Amino acid sequence: DSGVTQTPKHLITATGQRVTLRCSPRSGDLSVYWYQQSLDQGLQFLIQYYNGEERAKGNILERFSAQQFPDLHSELNLSSLELGDSALYFCASSVNPDRLNTEAFFGQGTRLTVV
Amino acid sequence: DAKTTQPPSMDCAEGRAANLPCNHSTISGNEYVYWYRQIHSQGPQYIIHGLKNNETNEMASLIITEDRKSSTLILPHATLRDTAVYYCIVRVESNTGKLIFGQGTTLQVKP
């Protein structure tokens, strides 16, 4: 158990809908990262938050947004869903991204299926 | 970003040591080498990381060459549960800490 909690574990929804994925970081971790892994694809970095502020942005679509709340949990919002958005979505957390010598720990992911 | 090169796949006999190589010839002086693994669509699992010295923990050992251009992850006694995709990552951007994953090595441990 990495200490990072993601909910829900599975989500099935229709095209055009909107969903929210939730992530609770490890206790004491201030930074949260979101990654997307499509079928047979690698892990693609989407976005990072640190202590409530956006820190880095990757290949995140405009239909997707995220935020980190004062209690440090994070939500990834996916809207106008398309079939191609079906993927595993992982959240990771780390204590201090300013240090190069710092590992990140991943949750078990949310499997999103768009039908 | 520093690039890594890993063989796409490797086999290992159960109970034997698994040695997974990684080339990172463009690594910068302050960049760490990180290893993660992903078991069948589970969340990536942190294994070990190092800068220039060899490192060992309860999961594995990391051997980094003196010129830091390559490294080897060693699983001393591989089990069937070690079958996974292993990722070598050498780019952790300062002030973001994000990890850039490559394609990794699929390790198949066979009985």
**Portion 47-66 of B in contact with A at CB < 8 A:** 49, 51
- Measured between alpha carbons, how far is B38 from B84 in angstroms, rounded to an integer? 6
**Smallest Cβ distance to B49: which of A90, A103, A108?**
A103
Q: Show the tokens assigned to B75.
A: 């699983």
Is the CB of B2 inside 8 Å of chain A's CB atoms? no
* Distance to chain A for B57, nearest Cα, Å: 14
- Measured between alpha carbons, how far is B90 from B32 in angstroms, rounded to an integer? 6
pLDDT (tens digit per residue) in B46-97 = 999 999 989 999 999 999 999 999 999 999 999 999 999 999 998 666 667 7
Q: Nearest residue of A to residue B103 by CA position?
A: A42
For position B1, what pLDDT does the model report?
Answer: 56
pLDDT band at A37 (very low <50, low <70, confident <90, very high): very high
Count, residues in chain A: 115
- Measured between alpha carbons, how far is B30 from A86 in angstroms, rounded to an integer? 37
- Measured between alpha carbons, how far is B47 from B61 in angstroms, rounded to an integer? 9
Cis peptide before A8 (omega within 30 of 0): yes
For position B100, what pLDDT does the model report?
Answer: 85
Q: Nearest residue of B to residue A89 by CA position?
A: B43
